[in-house]
Amino acid sequence: MIDYALADHATTLFDPAVGEGAFFRAAKAVAERRGMSLQLSGMEIDPRALAQATASGLSQADLAKVRIGDFVLDPPKESFPAIVANPPYVRHHRLCAERKTQLRRLSAQIIGKLLDGRAGLHVYFLIQALTLLKEGGRLAFIVPADTCEGKFAHDLWVWITSNFALDAVLTFVPEASPFPGLDTNPLVLFIRKTRPTEEFYWARCYRPERSAIAQWVRSGFGEVDSADLSAVRREVREGIMTGLSRTPPPPVYIAPKYVLGDFAQVMRGIATGANDFFFMTLERMNRLGLPREYFVRAIGRTKDVPADEITDSLLASLAQRGRPTWLLSLNGDPIESFPETVRRYLREGEAIGLPQRPLIAQRRPWYRMEMRTPPPFLFAYLGRRKCRFIRNTAGVIPLTGFLCVYPRSHDAEFLDRLWRIMNHPDTIANLAIVGKSYGNGAIKVEPRLLERLPIPDHVVEQFGSPIQLRLLEPGSRCAGHG
């Protein structure tokens, strides 16, 4: 990344998230190798990180032009010819509402659009850093794959590729990740502030050994096909549509006729806002004296479903192991209408501040639970297991660790065939097309994107055409929503 940023002999390097100074140390080594003078500049929000940078070998002179502050909301007033960063990976759900509002306003100011609220802090580091590039300057950022896969990604990358030249994107197979064991799928972006181009190089690293990457970058990129690294030329427009983190489609690609949404609709599981309060074991329910009639059977963790089916025997096994399987599911009736034990329990929730929690505060009254009809199938929201669709024969309600899959027909033959279609290896393989990728091969798929999961034509032909599956007419309402 340093070699790329300094390829045009820049004399100043800026890092907006200095941290322990890894890029500064690398930059000093590159400058020494080239026999050049280099000024280091940067920002860091945490003074303790700079103390670690000093302990790691950087001098006070190396850090003299590092300012303590919030780079995204209070950036430098000057521009730079070379910028590198490993920005803080702070996902959107860890940002408070006020912070999100500030960041979205920033996106509207810079790119002319309000980015979707699911953009993490690292996205705004990238946007702000690009505005600080000098004409002809170079930027190298290492970011998580969701930077190119999130709902916000299209607007972000249309702006970037309309105003900058995307030179290359470097991706990694899980075995070659720069951050082994972490729950992130990283990629490196190489961007110049110059006239936008219509093509870029897309590479995938297959081995942890980095010499092939160094040679590729120092040579100015290009097509490569080796055991360590492969690189191909791609169209920018195709890359944005496919996802810059994803493998390019075959040269001749015919989209399947069907997607999962042709056969089913998808909803997220229930978000309680406080699982430790609303989700409990039968033993706790009895100890508190809470009537069973106010509860529904539920499942909360993918780890609690080791097989591909949720059965009554599985629920019994979970109960024996002390796992919660009962969800307090109250309607919006006044608190005075409930039995004394329920009223007492709700007062305990008020005493610990549950009504003020962000998600719960949106409900009226605060204890009113979301409703779902038990879905025939569940989808593991974020998991590494090969088979992600789960049959729900026990009729449980899933929490947000799962998505609810409601088939468009409850006909027994339809359900059986759809079950086979969804779990076919070629269908499962297509999850990478619609999902966000994380570390060690994990994939996260949002409800609307799961409905766009391509179903291979040969899989539908193998188990029955849509007519044989008794598919409802397009636009008909999915049976089963609560």
Q: What is the 3-state secondary structure (H, E, C) of 192-215?
A: ECCCCCCEEEEEEECCCCCHHHHH
What is the residue-averaged pLDDT of the chain?
90
- Is 468 a domain residue? no
Pair 282, 419 in one domain:
yes
Cα separation, 369 vs 383, whole angstroms = 26
Cα separation, 363 vs 329, whole angstroms = 13
Question: Nearest Cα to 461, choosing from 398, 429, 417?
Answer: 417
Pair 186, 93 in one domain:
yes
- Is 167 a domain residue? yes
Q: What is the SS3 assignment for 382?
A: strand
Percent of the chain residues topping a pLDDT of 70: 94
Cα separation, 70 vs 75, whole angstroms = 7
User: What is the tally of structural domains in the chain?
Assistant: 3
- Is 472 a domain residue? no
Q: Single out the residue in 368, 394, 427 at which a domain terminates.
A: 368
- Is 249 a domain residue? no
**Cα(first)–Cα(last) distance of the chain, in Å?**
51
Cα separation, 157 vs 318, whole angstroms = 45
* Residue-level pLDDT at 465: 62
Angle at 246 (CA atoms; ends 126, 443), nearest 5 degrees: 90
* Residue-level pLDDT at 476: 41
Contact between 41 and 80 under an 8 Å Cβ cutoff? The reply is: yes
Q: Which residue has the higher pLDDT, 382 or 89?
A: 89
Cα separation, 265 vs 86, whole angstroms = 38
* One-letter amino acid for residue 321 of the chain: R
Cα separation, 363 vs 365, whole angstroms = 5
Pair 81, 118 in one domain:
yes
Q: Is the pLDDT of residue 5 over 70?
A: yes
Domain coverage including residue 456: 261-329+370-463
* Residue-level pLDDT at 210: 86
Contact between 198 and 235 under an 8 Å Cβ cutoff? The reply is: yes
Pair 291, 388 in one domain:
yes
> What CATH number does residue 71 fall under?
3.40.50.150
* Residue-level pLDDT at 272: 96
pLDDT average, residue stretch 111-136: 93
Pair 94, 179 in one domain:
yes
* Residue-level pLDDT at 259: 93
Question: Nearest Cα to 455, choosing from 414, 419, 481, 412?
Answer: 419
Pair 336, 387 in one domain:
no
**Which of 154-168, 213-227, 269-283, 446-460 shows the lowest mean pLDDT across its residues?**
446-460
- Is 471 a domain residue? no
Pair 194, 311 in one domain:
no
- Is 252 a domain residue? no
Pair 116, 77 in one domain:
yes
Q: Is the pLDDT of residue 387 over 90?
A: no
**Residue 95, both tokens:** 């940002």
CA 476 from chain center: how many Å?
A: 31
pLDDT average, residue stretch 23-38: 94
Q: Single out the residue in 174, 208, 242 at which a domain terminates.
A: 242
Q: Is the pLDDT of residue 478 over 60?
A: no
* Residue-level pLDDT at 443: 76
Task: Please say whether the dihedral angle defined by the alpha carbons of residues 430, 460, 269 and 368, taken in this order, is positive or negative.
Answer: positive
Q: Single out the residue in 191, 208, 242 at which a domain terminates.
A: 242
- Is 251 a domain residue? no
Segment 415-474, tens digit of pLDDT: 999 999 999 999 988 888 888 777 666 778 889 889 999 999 999 988 876 555 544 444
> What CATH number does residue 376 fall under?
3.90.220.20
Q: Which residues, 6 or more positions from 70, have their beta carbon under 8 angstroms from its beta carbon?
A: 45
Pair 428, 287 in one domain:
yes
Q: Is the pLDDT of residue 125 over 90?
A: yes
pLDDT average, residue stretch 112-139: 93
Q: What is this structure's pTM?
A: 0.76
- Is 295 a domain residue? yes
Pair 287, 354 in one domain:
no
Q: What DSSP letter does each residue of 1-70 carry, written as one string?
A: -HHHHTTT--SEEEES--TT-HHHHHHHHHHHHHT---EEEEEES-HHHHHHHHHTT--TTTTTTEEES-
Pair 68, 126 in one domain:
yes
Pair 85, 232 in one domain:
yes
* Residue-level pLDDT at 441: 66
